Chain A
Amino acid sequence: MIDDSLKICTVCASNNNRSMESHKQLQDAGYNVKSFGTGSAVRLPGPSQDKPNVYEFGTPYEDIYNDLMNQSARKMYEANGLIHMLDRNRHVKRAPEKWHNNKYAGKFDLVITCEERCFDSVLEDLMYRTYSKNDDGDYDVKTLVHVINVDIKDDNENAIIGGKGILKLVNMIHEFRRKKIEDGGDPSEHILEDQMTKILTQWQTEHVHLPTLYSVTYY
């Protein structure tokens, strides 16, 4: 793992396609990364549009993989990339995880969502966590977290393109943090929070088809 890696997590609806593809790419690049889903359950395409495959968060990818392999629509799942996706996922981590139950994972420095409604859901959840917390004996001090949304269409091809884009963004952020302060310059130019929108703008100009959102929040 990279020594100076920020604590990162990727988030999509079902923690299967977009967040898992970027999870894998970031992990392969050596970053400290986890991934989650903000949906109420894991929903994967079924034999028809009105019959999705629905699983509880926490159901191992292995089990989902086996379940789909045993269904009559297996050929279709292989054709649409579902089987390949689950095969990838089971080699990355054990099971899809729900964002709302991720307290055990600690606090992240950077949360990257892959869909606008996931971005909204993460922000609302962090607000809820803060105001609903009972008096904790004053032990908990809130931590600043950057939440970035990179809007990715939910299909195999776009998940890969989006994953590459996210990796590039994370690389840019880390490269920025590694820059040495030169004598005589404004120290503000080396503060991540000061330059975050500049980094995002630069990234966005190179990735115009991956629209972004951004918020600073705490938890």
Chain B
Amino acid sequence: MASDQADAEMFALLEEAKKLGFSNPQYFPKIFEYIVSMINEHQKVQVTKWCLEFLYQAFSNPEIIDPDTRTQLAMDALDNVLVATRVRDMEVFLLVIDVLVILYKLTFKFITFNDGAGIGIMWQKLLVLKQNLLDKIDTPWPLEMSENDEHDLWRNLTCKCELIKFMAVVIDYQSASNQNGSSNNYFSLSKVNKMHSLIQHSVAEDEASRLVDLLLANISRDILIPQLFTATLNHLMVIMKRKPQFAVKILTVLSKYDSTLKLQSNYQTVEEFKLARKYCDRVAKVFISHALRQNMIPPSFKDILNQKINMLTERGNEIRKKNIFAIDDPTIQKRKWEGFDVPDKQLKVNDYRLLYCLTNPSNELTQFDLSSLPQNILDNMALTALSRVSTRDLARALDIILERYKYNVDLDVHKGGPNKRGKKVKWSDDLDAEDKNGANDHYDDKLYDSEDDDGYEEGEIGEHDTRKRKILNSLPPIKEQSFKQKKEHVSMIIENFFALANSATTSSISTVNNTEEEDATLSGETGVNKELTKTAIKSWKPDSWLLLLSRLATRGMSTAEDSESEDFIQNQELSDMIRNAIFEYFLQDIHGRIDLIISWLNEEWYSEQVLHQKEEQTSPSSSPIYDKWSAKVLDSIIPFLEPKDKKLFIRLVSDLPYLDSSLISRIKSLCVDPLRSGIGFLALQFLIMYRPPVKEVCIDLLRELSTSEQEDLKKEASKLLTKYQPQSV
């Protein structure tokens, strides 16, 4: 209540301020600045709406602000209007569009005639605002998107029609006009200096042309949405008149328009579709007739458009004589359904089958028991389905299922929850299982709860199901896994990955003499690999398992938690289990698995860099995990290097993403070993030549070695120092 009163007082004050500003021009800029800043400061829908109404009143009334001040104030308001574009409210968004129609024109004109320092920021703001609105054209903003693109085409036509208005303004301003006659009476790109530093004619014209294409999609789309179709045509007439360069583009689409080729949308009835055809035909006819009378049609289109008018007139006359709904029209075809039959996000019955069901439950296919199929066929079916579904549809489907799950869990919580009642929680799948065990006699006694059978729709289901619905079914509560369980799972994942790694190795070895077969295996052209390749990884290779496993250890286990938190520490421990496993795998065959280890360490370093960038820690050396494991790798490989392993070691030090003095100091042990000193010095020489960031560290190491008491070592180090750092010798 106190908040309501405070709001009422604030709005009363705002009204007073507005009245004062509107009647006293000398106070207006100060009052304007104060009111507009409230959009950002308060971020309340009602305040934003009030401020936008104020802006609209101020800018659309010539008597309130003098023209010079008006442009300045328009530019001052851009930042706060941008804040308002993010508010999910219909009234606010409609006001934003109207205000921006004015602000866009004022700012664009100002920039046109004031090409100088400081204007760039204004131009950038204008571009951001413009793009912000244009990005919403294909969405039902401020409504949330639905599960179906076709449905969203029909949703929030108010804002779509209003956005068409804004698009028309942008097209008008960003394209040239004929410089003769009446076109001089309004602003266009022709008034912009061709050498303007910010407004490039070709870029502006290109965007205008793309926006015309976007508008024309409302005409050429395979379904008819009369509101969008007619709103678009009415704007296109203005564009045709003022911008004849777009006439061919517009008339080409219009000459191909034929309502009998359009499909009935899944979101309109046959009756609505019949009317839609009639409405659109008539407005198309009005458009063409008007354009012909006003001589807007180029000669090459006159014949075809005259024919189009005759056809539309004839069709209209025929319909007028009859009851449109009684006409049997064999040309009507429904658009292919591309959405989910059951997109509901709330389940009335807790049933695993219904939880995952997005198709019509009465469809025979839905009744089919897939578990009766062999595993390999199920695998192929699942992989084929995954490969065909679009990412967007898959995400939407998963979202629906998640929402259903969450909704029903919440419902259980609100109802008091099964635990509160001390009763066993059941899902119908569990019940099925118990049915088979002959335990069903106990259901009613154990689970029936007459207070909780609301929401079930009797009569729609069979007797068996009805009984089940009377049973208190509720979703199992989400159980947090214990750390021990998580560790077990990670161990299992690691085992599976290494089994995959070993099978890939075996497969490669067994097919080593058959190049074609090997290629097929590598590229995943056979068996399940083939399906998996199509679905998950386009170029599945025998060592792709490492990529997945190392990412699981790095990015997969990363957490936003504080490094002191229990979650963070536990995740690190799980990651280290994977790292240890990879490291152990490497130790089994150091020579054969050097590529693998380089890939893994690169992933470690990269993921740490990305993480730090997100946390805005820019220090390049902040990669403690990488430092630790790369040191372990060097420590483990160096004792086992043989004189012939020069290339292998050079490969390692050249491909590690980051080296510091600690890592380079490990090369020292190689240099001091008379048998393998060649590898150590060669590596140092390589790093001096090809990795400038560590050159100094290598020189320091050489300097240290040059003071050694070991003569051959001292000699070799001094020789290299003389070569690469003569001044220090």
| Chain A residues at the B interface, C-beta cutoff of 8 Å | 116, 119-120, 123-124, 126-128, 130-135, 137-142, 144, 151, 184, 186-188, 191-194, 196-198, 200-201, 204-205, 208-209, 211-218
Contact assessment for B182 and A132 in the assembled complex, using a CB-CB cutoff below 8 Å: yes
Contact assessment for B241 and A140 in the assembled complex, using a CB-CB cutoff below 8 Å: no
Pick from B98, B140, B275, B286: contact of A204, CB under 8 Å: B275
- A127 CB to nearest chain B CB (Å): 4
Q: Is B234 in the interface zone, CB < 8 Å from A?
A: yes
Pick from A123, A193, A211: contact of B324, CB under 8 Å: A211
List the 8 shortest-distance A-B pairs measured between CB atoms, nearest first. Answer: A215-B230, A188-B155, A131-B241, A134-B185, A216-B231, A193-B157, A193-B158, A138-B105
Residue of A nearest to B71 (CB): A138
Contact assessment for B238 and A137 in the assembled complex, using a CB-CB cutoff below 8 Å: no
Contacts of A218 in B (CB 8 A): 165, 231, 234-235
Q: Is B320 in the interface zone, CB < 8 Å from A?
A: yes
- A97 CB to nearest chain B CB (Å): 23
**Given that A198-B272, A213-B279 are known contacts, is A188 also in contact with B102, CB under 8 Å in the complex?**
no
CB 8 Å contact bits of B93-116 with A (1 = contact, 0 = none): 000001001100110010000000
Pick from B146, B157, B238: contact of A186, CB under 8 Å: B146
Pick from B62, B165, B290: contact of A127, CB under 8 Å: B290
Residue of A nearest to B269 (CB): A201
Pick from A133, A184, A196, A215: contact of B234, CB under 8 Å: A215
Q: Which of A130, A131, A205 is most buried by chain B, counting CB atoms within 10 A of its CB?
A: A131
Contact assessment for B60 and A197 in the assembled complex, using a CB-CB cutoff below 8 Å: no
23 example contacts (A-B, Cβ-Cβ < 8 A) are as follows: A127-B234, A127-B290, A131-B238, A131-B242, A138-B102, A140-B60, A144-B158, A144-B165, A151-B320, A191-B155, A192-B158, A193-B161, A197-B268, A197-B275, A197-B276, A197-B279, A205-B325, A212-B279, A215-B279, A215-B286, A217-B230, A217-B231, A218-B231
Contacts of B323 in A (CB 8 A): 208-209
Contacts of B326 in A (CB 8 A): 208
Residue of B nearest to A120 (CB): B286
Contact assessment for A191 and B158 in the assembled complex, using a CB-CB cutoff below 8 Å: yes
Contact assessment for B186 and A135 in the assembled complex, using a CB-CB cutoff below 8 Å: yes
A151 to B316 alpha-carbon distance, docked (Å): 13
A139 to B105 alpha-carbon distance, docked (Å): 10
Contacts of B155 in A (CB 8 A): 186, 188, 191, 194
**Given that A130-B238, A218-B234 are known contacts, is A144 also in contact with B162, CB under 8 Å in the complex?**
yes
Residues of chain B from 279 to 296 with CB closer than 8 A to chain A in the complex: 279, 282-283, 286, 289-290
- A12 CB to nearest chain B CB (Å): 17
A201 to B60 alpha-carbon distance, docked (Å): 37
Tally of chain B residues near chain A (CB < 8 A): 60
Given A131-B242, A137-B62, A186-B155, 7 more pairs with CB closer than 8 A: A128-B290, A131-B237, A191-B155, A205-B271, A208-B326, A217-B231, A218-B235
Pick from B276, B286, B325: contact of A123, CB under 8 Å: B286
Contacts of A120 in B (CB 8 A): 282, 286, 289
Q: Is B54 in the interface zone, CB < 8 Å from A?
A: no
A86 to B701 alpha-carbon distance, docked (Å): 111
CB 8 Å contact bits of B33-55 with A (1 = contact, 0 = none): 00000000000000000000000
Pick from B102, B161, B241, B269: contact of A216, CB under 8 Å: B161
Q: Which of B60, B143, B182, B286 is most buried by chain A, counting CB atoms within 10 A of its CB?
A: B286
**Given that A151-B320, A201-B272, A213-B282 are known contacts, is A135 also in contact with B157, CB under 8 Å in the complex?**
no
A133 to B182 alpha-carbon distance, docked (Å): 10
Residue of B nearest to A133 (CB): B186
A198 to B275 alpha-carbon distance, docked (Å): 10
Q: Is B443 in the interface zone, CB < 8 Å from A?
A: no
Residue of A nearest to B276 (CB): A197
**Given that A130-B238, A135-B185, A208-B325 are known contacts, is A215 also in contact with B283, CB under 8 Å in the complex?**
yes
Contacts of A140 in B (CB 8 A): 60
Contact assessment for A194 and B156 in the assembled complex, using a CB-CB cutoff below 8 Å: yes
Contact assessment for B234 and A135 in the assembled complex, using a CB-CB cutoff below 8 Å: no
Contacts of B324 in A (CB 8 A): 204, 208, 211
Contact assessment for B67 and A137 in the assembled complex, using a CB-CB cutoff below 8 Å: yes
A211 to B158 alpha-carbon distance, docked (Å): 25
A141 to B279 alpha-carbon distance, docked (Å): 26
- A170 CB to nearest chain B CB (Å): 18
Residue of A nearest to B272 (CB): A201
- B77 CB to nearest chain A CB (Å): 14
- A215 CB to nearest chain B CB (Å): 4
Contact assessment for B157 and A214 in the assembled complex, using a CB-CB cutoff below 8 Å: no
Contact assessment for B226 and A123 in the assembled complex, using a CB-CB cutoff below 8 Å: no
Residue of B nearest to A219 (CB): B234
Q: Is B61 in the interface zone, CB < 8 Å from A?
A: yes
Q: Is B497 in the interface zone, CB < 8 Å from A?
A: no
Contacts of B105 in A (CB 8 A): 138
A208 to B319 alpha-carbon distance, docked (Å): 12
Contacts of B325 in A (CB 8 A): 204-205, 208
A216 to B163 alpha-carbon distance, docked (Å): 13
A134 to B98 alpha-carbon distance, docked (Å): 19
Q: Is B278 in the interface zone, CB < 8 Å from A?
A: yes
Contact assessment for A127 and B237 in the assembled complex, using a CB-CB cutoff below 8 Å: yes
Contacts of A119 in B (CB 8 A): 282
Contacts of B235 in A (CB 8 A): 218
- A86 CB to nearest chain B CB (Å): 30
- A194 CB to nearest chain B CB (Å): 5
Residue of B nearest to A209 (CB): B323
Q: Which of A138, A193, A205 is most buried by chain B, counting CB atoms within 10 A of its CB?
A: A138
- B528 CB to nearest chain A CB (Å): 42
Pick from B102, B227, B320: contact of A197, CB under 8 Å: B227
Q: Is B187 in the interface zone, CB < 8 Å from A?
A: yes
Q: Is B257 in the interface zone, CB < 8 Å from A?
A: no
Contact assessment for B101 and A194 in the assembled complex, using a CB-CB cutoff below 8 Å: no
